[in-house]
């Protein structure tokens, strides 16, 4: 089974081998409101940990999606470019943004697990 980790900026990353699938959490999409536009990076783009990976625009605001790890974009989700509302409906499944080939597995291992992320979100209320 793939392992999933979370950031304090409400991104998730699910690791399969050396490639991580990145998206935003349900909490993040709820805060954004109705997503109307998504800007994705080009395949091959080098990302830095914590650097901008994508942009998501909602009826409320535009927001950056940050890369939880350093690496190279190997795939983007064309489905959310065509139908941005998929991010609202399926934020933690089919509404993913990018797939990244990790530069350093330790960056993934340092992120929050599901239980830690849940505690973090509960502390925001």
Q: What are the mean pLDDT values of the chain's consecutive 10-residue runs (125 residues total)?
A: 91 97 97 96 98 96 96 98 97 98 97 97 91
- What was the pLDDT predicted at 32? 95
Domains along the chain?
A: 3-113 (2.40.50.100)
Angstrom distance (rounded) from CA 123 to CA 70:
27
Could you tell me if 43 and 74 are in contact, meaning their C-beta atoms sit under 8 angstroms apart? yes
pTM: 0.96
What is the rounded (10 degree) CA torsion for 25, 45, 54, 69? 30
């Amino acid at each position: 089974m793939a392992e999933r980790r979370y950031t304090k900026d409400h991104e998730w990353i699910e690791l399969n081998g050396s490639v991580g699938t990145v998206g935003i959490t349900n909490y993040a999409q709820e805060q954004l409101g109705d997503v109307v536009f998504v800007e994705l990076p080009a395949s091959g783009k080098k990302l830095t940990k914590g650097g901008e990976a994508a942009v998501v625009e909602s009826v409320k605001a535009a927001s950056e999606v940050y890369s939880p790890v350093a690496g190279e974009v190997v795939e983007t989700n064309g489905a959310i470019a065509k139908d941005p509302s998929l991010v609202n409906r399926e934020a933690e499944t089919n509404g993913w943004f990018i797939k990244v080939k990790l530069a350093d597995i330790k960056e993934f291992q340092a992120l929050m697990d599901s239980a830690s992320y849940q505690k973090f979100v509960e502390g925001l209320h």
